[in-house]
């Protein structure tokens, strides 16, 4: 897949006392984009329950570039930046852009899969591996362990 972007409707509750997007809303939008992508590609919540697996994050950081205000129209995309070949650990980059293309923020995160019964890191099944192999990849994508810098 070449590109995935999700338009975001900014809610009044997402705005802070300085009249711009509160910092934690950026992370909420990242989670929304990931879960929407998973769901649109067959990895729904019932499927995650069936597989007894879930995504977890080890690191999530935001780099704020431009203010986002209530009236702005924005979208968030996502790309796989780094992964182990079995997709058990991965790094994703989200970019938030305004309607005119202005880069507003970048979210970087490192994640993995957890076996919900054993409560230990897990290798995802072939269904999840296939979905991740179809994930949009960044131009600087590399194979390797995102947790080993």
Confirm whether 147 is domain-assigned: no
The pLDDT mean for the chain works out to 96
Distance CA 60, CA 104 (A): 17
Distance CA 27, CA 62 (A): 8
pLDDT at 148: 84
Which pLDDT band holds residue 25 (cuts at 50, 70, 90)? very high
pLDDT at 149 over 70: no
Confirm whether 14 is domain-assigned: yes
pLDDT at 117: 98
Distance CA 86, CA 123 (A): 7
Distance CA 91, CA 76 (A): 16
- Number of structural domains found in the chain: 1
Would you say the pTM of this structure is higher than 0.85? yes
Among 135, 141, 140, CA closest to 33: 135
CATH code of the domain covering residue 57: 3.10.129.10
* Residue 133, CA distances (Å) to 64, 67, 107, 127, 128 in order: 29, 34, 21, 10, 9
Read off the pLDDT of residues 79-125 as tens digits, 9 standing for 90 and up. Answer: 999 999 999 999 999 999 999 999 999 999 999 999 999 999 999 99
Confirm whether 143 is domain-assigned: no
Structural domain span for residue 134: 5-138
Among 83, 79, 88, 134, CA closest to 107: 79
Confirm whether 146 is domain-assigned: no
């Amino acid at each position: 897949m070449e590109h995935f972007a999700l338009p975001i409707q900014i809610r009044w509750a997402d705005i802070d006392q300085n009249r711009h997007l509160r910092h934690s809303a950026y992370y909420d939008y990242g989670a929304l984009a990931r879960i929407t992508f998973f769901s649109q590609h067959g990895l729904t919540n019932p499927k995650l329950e069936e597989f007894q697996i879930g995504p977890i994050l080890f690191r999530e950081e935001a780099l704020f570039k431009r203010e986002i205000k209530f009236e702005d129209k924005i979208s968030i995309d996502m790309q796989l930046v780094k992964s182990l070949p079995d997709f058990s650990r991965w790094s994703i980059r989200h970019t938030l852009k305004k309607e005119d293309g202005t880069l507003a923020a970048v979210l970087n995160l490192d994640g993995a899969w957890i076996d919900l019964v054993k409560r230990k890191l897990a290798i995802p099944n072939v269904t999840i591996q296939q979905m991740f192999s179809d994930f949009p990849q960044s131009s600087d994508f590399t194979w390797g362990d995102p947790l080993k810098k």
